[in-house]
Amino acid sequence: MDRIRGVEAIVVGERGSAATWASVAVIVRVETSSGRMGYGEAVPTLRTGQVVEATKRLASVVVGMDPHAIELIHRTWMREEFYLHRSIESTAALSALDIALWDLKGREFGAPIHELLGGAYRRRVLSYANGWYGNCRTPGDFAEAASRVVKMGYRGLKFDPFGGYFDYIDGAGVRRAAEIVSAVREAVGEDVHLMIEHHGRFSYESAVRIADAISRYSPLFMEEPVHPHDLEGLRRYRSLTRVPVALGERILNKEEALQYLREGLVDFLQVDLTNVGGVTEAWKIAALADSFGVKMAYHNAFGPVQNAATLQLDATVPNFMIQETFYDFFPQWKRDLIGDATKVVDGYHAVPDGPGIGVDVREDVLESHRAEGLEERVPGEPVWVVRGTWVEDDASRIP
């Protein structure tokens, strides 16, 4: 019987090819005893070393197991990891393995993952652009870049107009952000979705003032308006504002997602396949969200294997709304990694119909971009920024 023979986390990247966190990806390759290969992807955000170590721990547990037994592997890992299971490193390793095992399963049965789940609900996926606003600082910069993105066919744009503010934002910061959003709205018109990214960095009091200033521009959602651990602040934000909320990129399992759903704290759920438990958990969470009338808008910021796997879920989840994509704003090597197989056309990703994740990973590009240990840091620069949108004097705005 076919068994898992090896699980390898391969750090790939090109120093300086994008923002620090975006210049690297963690691709996980699973090999079986019959020589079959499956590919997954883990969260790279400046923890590549820890994720690689967690993947080695995971490999020591799952080598010899049946690659078909995905649920059993999830539970076995939970039991093995004990305290560590509630960590992004541990769930990132499991998530990448899960994606690779679904890739293997699809290749074995000759079907794309969405066929193994609920079948095609849609053949193309409405996608919004992120990563498009590099080097934008003024309202004019953002408006000009936004117009270019809409001309590419996108019907949705996400951006972070808050520069270097953290925790507290003063009146000047709120005015500057509102001017940026106003300029983008003016440039793209009323029918393009605008999503306002807060990167989970404000107190509820600041986030409420931001909502009061920006709601007039009809954002589709306000993303991570308060710190991700600040449930009390999110409850207050919800009671004091009338704007839709999106969050989820830092949720690690379905039980965490349920907490937000039960309390009506989220309108668009953005869990991420590469850290929430892969295809298996992200699919279960979509059903949970559906029972609360919440739409799915999976987080998708890292690499081409994540992007392809996420499209497989988008293809079959009934309560899917809109898909984040950096695809056109990836460094070229990320598109090359899958032979540029998931282009965005007229604002939509087509659903890949190949077996498994639907695309093939180019082993030559994988090998030529190995970058073990690549973890760039720009002193003082926040981890989340899109390159060139953080200016030195922003540091003075952190109280």
Ligand X SMILES: O=C(O)[C@H](O)[C@@H](O)[C@H](O)[C@H](O)CO
Chain positions contacting ligand X, by CB under 6 A: 21, 45, 130, 197, 199, 249, 299, 301, 324, 383-384
Give CA–CA dist 278/284, Å, rounded.
Answer: 10
User: What is the closest distance, in whole angstroms, from the C-beta atom of residue 386 to ligand X in the complex?
Assistant: 7
Contacts of 79 (CB under 8 A, 6+ apart): none
**Rounded alpha-carbon distances, angstroms, from residue 133 to 96, 141, 246:** 29, 8, 20
CB closer to ligand X, 77 vs 327:
327
299 is catalytic: yes
CB closer to ligand X, 72 vs 383:
383
DSSP per residue, 161-220: --TT-BBB--HHHHHHHHHHHHHHHHHH-TTSEEEEE-TT-B-HHHHHHHHHHHGGG--S
User: Of 199, 227, 349, 369, which residue is the catalytic one?
Assistant: 199
Q: How far is CA 28 from the centre of its chain?
A: 17
DSSP per residue, 51-101: HHHHHHHHHHHHTTS-TT-HHHHHHHHHHHHGGGGGSHHHHHHHHHHHHHH
User: What is the closest distance, in whole angstroms, from the C-beta atom of residue 246 to ligand X in the complex?
Assistant: 9
User: What is the closest distance, in whole angstroms, from the C-beta atom of residue 363 to ligand X in the complex?
Assistant: 26
CB closer to ligand X, 120 vs 383:
383
Region of 165 (left: φ > 0; alpha: ψ -120 to 50; beta: rest) is: beta
Q: How far is CA 54 from the centre of its chain?
A: 20
193 is catalytic: no
CB closer to ligand X, 129 vs 178:
129
User: What is the closest distance, in whole angstroms, from the C-beta atom of residue 22 to ligand X in the complex?
Assistant: 7
**Rounded alpha-carbon distances, angstroms, from residue 21 to 16, 75, 333:** 10, 30, 15
User: What is the closest distance, in whole angstroms, from the C-beta atom of residue 364 to ligand X in the complex?
Assistant: 27
Sign of the dihedral through C-alpha 86, 89, 93, 99: positive
Cβ 324 vs Cβ 334: under 8 Å: no
CB closer to ligand X, 128 vs 333:
128
Give CA–CA dist 375/51, Å, rounded.
Answer: 12
User: What is the closest distance, in whole angstroms, from the C-beta atom of residue 228 to ligand X in the complex?
Assistant: 11
CB closer to ligand X, 35 vs 373:
373
User: What is the closest distance, in whole angstroms, from the C-beta atom of residue 48 to ligand X in the complex?
Assistant: 12
Q: Give bridge partners of residue 196 from the DSSP assignment.
A: 159, 222
Q: Which of 248, 296, 312 is nearest to 275 (CA)?
A: 248
CB closer to ligand X, 383 vs 398:
383
CB closer to ligand X, 268 vs 384:
384
User: Of 114, 198, 227, 299, which residue is the catalytic one?
Assistant: 299
User: What is the closest distance, in whole angstroms, from the C-beta atom of residue 7 to ligand X in the complex?
Assistant: 23
Contacts of 117 (CB under 8 A, 6+ apart): 279, 283, 312, 313, 316
Q: Which of 37, 41, 31 is nearest to 9 (CA)?
A: 41
Q: Which of 187, 180, 186 is nearest to 197 (CA)?
A: 180
Active site residues: 199, 299
